[in-house]
Structure 1
């Protein structure tokens, strides 16, 4: 079950199953939707995970699609789980964006050449990153964003809701004085401490490498544990973000990440570099 995390990924998973059941029944969107007194666009949104559906609606869909046996209860349980509300809503976030996806992940693999990964940022560093964007935020919004980041980070040491992080960062991230020298010194010290956590693996791509595959764009791979959904790639860009779960594209991202890890310093060498840069800052 989704527990306190919310259920965005489960809604996506449910939608994909419902689409497969419709296709197995040999029904198009235009033929199936009127049987539920829905428009074809509404049914499409449900199947794409952009709109929720209640237990009554799923029961009707299973009747029409001819579903029998234990799959009934499995789908109804998934429907209930997919209806749960995420903790992030208390901080003013909706179900779009990265946080709802990460909340249901059990493993995060992140590659970045720009900033320290959010799961490893100090409050002061995070505030400096938020302040540097073109989007002006109120003090309340900044406080909420910082609180959200703190709650996300708790999972790195939580026994009840654990999260593993494997991060590959460019050395330029260590040397960029985000927030000023004092903020950066504290951030670098935090990185060295976080690298010692059992659930954190941190590797640095040295500047001496020159060009490498991670320079084109930062990306994050998410793995969802007991949810049979496959891995997902999340990529941010200047006007938004995309999440991708097409198997062939996820495979390319996975190969890229593995290549970056092979090029990066090992964990001990990475921590030693972080400590040297901190001493110079």
Structure 2
């Protein structure tokens, strides 16, 4: 599943940026290039800004006027196929507009959580308990579908082909909140300890006695896309939905906040000891 990149907004943006660079390198403005492709300037602009998708046939027609050939030709057509392919999440009724397609292309996730364990580290029973407590009503079938999707996402933490690095900072209060009851929570804490031993996962607990801190405004996630030429992106969930943050200065600020939280949190080794102690007392 993880060997092929496919269909996400990140891939479409990568293709759009590539096509724009090729046009500029060919010395063509949008107004000059559009008639050569039988496009309107507005259509070409939409394509170059990833607001309109393109297939292999369209891209092939663009490469001759942009004087592209050889290996580069093949690389761009392959990127086009990847950008057009359906992601695994489509089989579960999800589209390409949410968080999951972005995470599927990410190389590193920085996750600060204040009310629950990060989704990538949740046990099945913990996930179900969160869903059941939510005001968002799910049928049993929808709940189980969403549980399955979350468990599939977790597989990248142990993927040999495309591993995902997770840096997680968790408010200490999360460890004491018995989501699903004591037995479910003990199993969840054991899962945190187990996950912390993975090469791809770093878990740090933010002590309650730190008091006011840089992340006091709430939870957030920063996604990085190493090797794809895409800038980092922020993501925030809230009771009314979610927000993608792309403005560079805002994302930079989020990374700085996250780095600060890591300096005031327990070390990874200390965090594991804290988690084990809480589990023993539960």
TM-score by length of 2: 0.87
What is the correspondence of 1:8-87 to structure 2 with a 5 Å cutoff?
8=8, 9-21=10-22, 25=27, 27-28=29-30, 36-37=37-38, 42-64=43-65, 66-68=66-68, 71-87=72-88
Q: Structure 1's 226 and 277: CA in aligned 2 closer, same or farther, altered over 3 A?
A: same
The answer to whether the Cα contact below 8 Å between 2:3 and 2:162 also exists between their aligned partners in 1 is no
Rounded to whole Å, the distance in 1 between the matches of 2:61 and 2:150 is: 40
Displacement of 1:71 in angstroms is 4.3
How many angstroms does 1:205 deviate by?
A: 0.4
**Structure 1 alignment gaps of length 5 or more:** none
Give, in whole Å, the separation in 1 of the partners of 2:176 and 2:46.
44
Counterpart in the other structure of 1:181: 182
Larger mean CA deviation between 139-148 and 216-225 belongs to: 216-225
May I ask how many residue pairs the two structures share in their alignment? 278
Q: 1:58 to 1:146 in 2, by over 3 A?
A: same
Q: Which residue of 1 aligns with 2:6?
A: 6
Q: Is the 8 A contact 1:54 1:83 kept in 2?
A: yes
Shift of 1:246: 3.8
- How far apart, CA to CA, are the structure 2 residues paired with 1:44 and 1:138? 42
1:116 deviation in Å?
Answer: 0.6
* SS across alignment from 2:274: helix
Query: In structure 2, what is the Cα distance between the partners aligned to 1:22 and 1:4?
Result: 27
Taking a change above 3 Å as real, the CA distance of residues 37 and 178 of structure 1, as seen in their structure-2 partners, is farther
Runs of at least 5 residues in structure 2 that lack an aligned partner in the other structure: none
Q: Matches of 1:73 and 1:245 in 2, distance apart? A: 30
Alignment of 1:66-215 (within 5 A): 66-68=66-68, 71-215=72-216
Q: Tell me whether 230-239 or 133-142 shows the greater mean CA deviation.
A: 230-239
* Conserved 8 A contact 1:124-1:179: yes
| Offset of residue 244 of structure 1 | 3.3
Whole-Å Cα distance in 2 between the matches of residues 180 and 238 of structure 1? 23
Q: Deviations over 1:53-105 (max 9, x none)?
A: 112222333445x3445644432221122112111111121112111111122
Alpha-carbon distance, 1:125 to partner:
0.9
Whether the aligned pair in 2 keeps the contact of 1:55 and 1:79 (CA below 8 Å) is yes
Q: Relative to structure 1, is the Cα distance of residues 5 and 121 closer, same or farther in structure 2, using a 3 angstrom cutoff?
A: farther
In the TM superposition, what is the alpha-carbon distance from 1:110 to its structure 2 partner? 0.9
CA shift for structure 1 position 11:
1.0
> Structure 1 residues 45 and 267, CA, compared in 2 at 3 Å: closer, same or farther?
same
In the alignment, the residues of structure 1 paired with residue 238 and residue 61 of structure 2 have an alpha-carbon distance, to the nearest angstrom, of 40
CA RMSD of superposed structures (Å): 2.5
TM-score w.r.t. length of structure 1: 0.87
